[in-house]
Structure 1
């Protein structure tokens, strides 16, 4: 598994509470839930490419 980038994130307490409940509902940590949501948003925006696609572009 690749090393993860660490950074500080400040959130509105109400938003954190929503994320915390949502993460519990999906059996994830809050950190994993945030990462999942960000990846989904990047995919939908066409900015996230799967590793296979990136390798094909490098050839």
Structure 2
């Protein structure tokens, strides 16, 4: 991969109606279903400030104080 980002396969079980809706959305956006699911998840993570997006790459945020070890 050119960007150096490693991807890991993950089996995903999903409601048939949700899967069909995601496929239609992917078709509208000219993406594969897998790419569309990853796009939606990445967008949700960025909007919830769980990760930050730098030049189209997702980067982890600093751990919160609650998660830091003393």
**Common fold by TM > 0.5:** yes
Structure scoring higher RCO (CA < 8 A, sep ≥ 6) equals 1
Residue 28 (1) aligns with residue 10 (2): no
- Structure 1: unaligned runs, 5 residues or longer: none
Structure with higher helix content: 1
After superposition, give the CA deviation of every residue in 1:16-43 in whole Å (9 maximum; x if it has no partner). Answer: 0000000000000000000000010000
Please identify runs of 4+ aligned residues in structure 1 that moved more than 2 A. none
CA distance in 2: counterparts of 1:51 and 1:40, whole angstroms: 12
Structure with higher strand content: 2
RMSD: 1.9
TM-score by length of 1: 0.80
What residue number does 2:22 align with?
19
- Structure 2: unaligned runs, 5 residues or longer: 63-70
